[in-house]
Amino acid sequence: MFKKKSVLMVISLASGLFGAILLYLHNIERDKILQDRLFLVAAAKSVAAQQVLGDKHLQIIEVPVAFAPKGAVAKKEQAVLLGRKCLLPLEAGQIILWNYIDIGNAGYSLASRIKVGMRAMTLSVDKVTGMETMLQPGHRLDVLATFNQPGEKRRLVTRTLLQNLIVLAVGNDRYAGDYATLTLQVTPDQAELLAFAEKATELRFVLRSENDVESRSETSLIDFDNFLHAKKNAINETKNVRAKVVYE
């Protein structure tokens, strides 16, 4: 009798321990799921049906990956919404899904996305190399130019031409896949510079972090004379830099 009670007690303790382990593992898995997060676009205020969206209607919220609805608009895609109609009424804080948005031409205006005093300039991608299939509206980039410097030696040089330009559009429709054109927001002076550089130089895009909006006041000119020195500086700059992976 005593032996039977001992066996039952051991089984009971083992069951309790097993349950505690399962609960512990469940909590770990739950915490891990909640740690993985996405940045999504949501309504900043109540939006009426057929409202053309602008910056004032949108905000960015952070959501656990497990709770993100299918078809939600990611932070990096926010610029695509500007100037487009919202087909359904939205409440403040409501996550915006692509099927809420009129992605056709109706209600869409590139001009409505250009800041006052700025211009939209379209470049042919076959004349501009770098990031051809990776750029999306809202991205920020620098433009490098490589050319033969005029003079007796006509040396080949590369220089940062423009910094922190905003991508307004890619191709005719970002949903069509590859694109042949890229539209940037520029000042009138920058537009003139790009128009000349597109004809006279080889241009290359350099994608920036979305949090990096500072422009260097001085940029170096790279040629064969200082190439090795510039390479050494570039290596030293990256020694303490670690890549941060985030969900978008």
Q: Are residues 81 and 131 in the same domain?
A: no
Residue 25 domain-assigned? no
Q: Are residues 166 and 122 in the same domain?
A: yes
The predicted structure's pLDDT at residue 180: 67
Q: Which tops the pLDDT comparison, 81 or 172?
A: 81
Answer whether residue 196 shows pLDDT above 90.
yes
Q: Are residues 51 and 126 in the same domain?
A: no
- Does the pTM surpass 0.75? The reply is no
Residues 6+ apart with CB under 8 A from 34: 64, 66
The predicted structure's pLDDT at residue 5: 57
Residue 15 domain-assigned? no
Q: Are residues 82 and 137 in the same domain?
A: no
Read off the pLDDT band of 246 (50, 70, 90): very low
Nearest residue to 126 (alpha-carbon basis) of 203, 185, 74: 203
Tokens of 14: 């083992």
Q: Are residues 120 and 173 in the same domain?
A: yes
Residues of the domain holding 209: 114-229
Residue 3 domain-assigned? no
Residue 163 domain-assigned? yes
Residue 24 domain-assigned? no
Q: Are residues 89 and 125 in the same domain?
A: no
Residue 10 domain-assigned? no
What is the DSSP annotation of 138-186? T-EEEEEEEEE-SSSS--EEEEEEEEEEEEEEESS-GGGSS-SEEEEEE
Q: Are residues 184 and 215 in the same domain?
A: yes
What is the mean pLDDT of the segment spanning 152-174?
80
The predicted structure's pLDDT at residue 236: 53
Q: Are residues 121 and 91 in the same domain?
A: no
What is the DSSP annotation of 109-126? -GGGGSPTT-EEEEEEGG
What is the mean pLDDT of the segment spanning 208-232?
73
Answer whether residue 46 shows pLDDT above 80.
yes
Q: Which tops the pLDDT comparison, 169 or 189?
A: 189
Read off the pLDDT band of 12 (50, 70, 90): low
Q: Which tops the pLDDT comparison, 246 or 33?
A: 33
Q: Are residues 147 and 93 in the same domain?
A: no
Residue 170 domain-assigned? yes
Residue 21 domain-assigned? no
Q: How many domains does the chain have?
A: 2
The predicted structure's pLDDT at residue 228: 61
Q: Which tops the pLDDT comparison, 107 or 156?
A: 156
Q: Are residues 69 and 169 in the same domain?
A: no
Q: What is the CATH number of the domain that holds 52?
A: 3.90.1210.10
Q: Are residues 123 and 207 in the same domain?
A: yes
Q: Are residues 120 and 212 in the same domain?
A: yes
